Amino acid sequence: MAKGKVKFNEDICKGCELCIIACPQKIIALDEEKINAKGFHPAHLVNEDACIGCGNCAIMCPDSVIEVERI
C-alpha cells in the first residue's frame, strides 16, 4: 500500500474540518493545543504512518493549506 507525507501550512488553516471529513483513514484532527496566527485551531495528522497519500485532504481544502507527497 502507498504511503504519503502530508504538510499543513498551519498559519493559514481556518479549521473548517473539510480535510477531516475527506480523510478515509480518519487520521486528521484539529490541534486543540495550538492557535494559529488567524486565531484558529489548525488541522494536523494524528498518525502519520497511517497516511495512504490519497490526497483527498488537499483536494477538499479551500485554502490550499495541505500538500501531499506520495512516497
CATH number belonging to domain 4-70: 3.30.70.20
Considering only the C-alpha atoms of the chain, give the largest distance between any 2 of them, rounded to a whole number of Å: 37
What is the 8-class DSSP label of residue 67?
A: E
Q: What is the pLDDT of residue 1?
A: 67
Categorize the per-residue pLDDT at 17 as very low, low, confident or very high, splitting at 50, 70 and 90: very high
Categorize the per-residue pLDDT at 2 as very low, low, confident or very high, splitting at 50, 70 and 90: confident
What is the 8-class DSSP label of residue 3?
A: -
Q: Where are the domains of the chain?
A: 4-70
Categorize the per-residue pLDDT at 10 as very low, low, confident or very high, splitting at 50, 70 and 90: very high
What proportion of the chain, given as a percentage, has pLDDT over 70?
99
Residue written as grid cell 485551531: 41
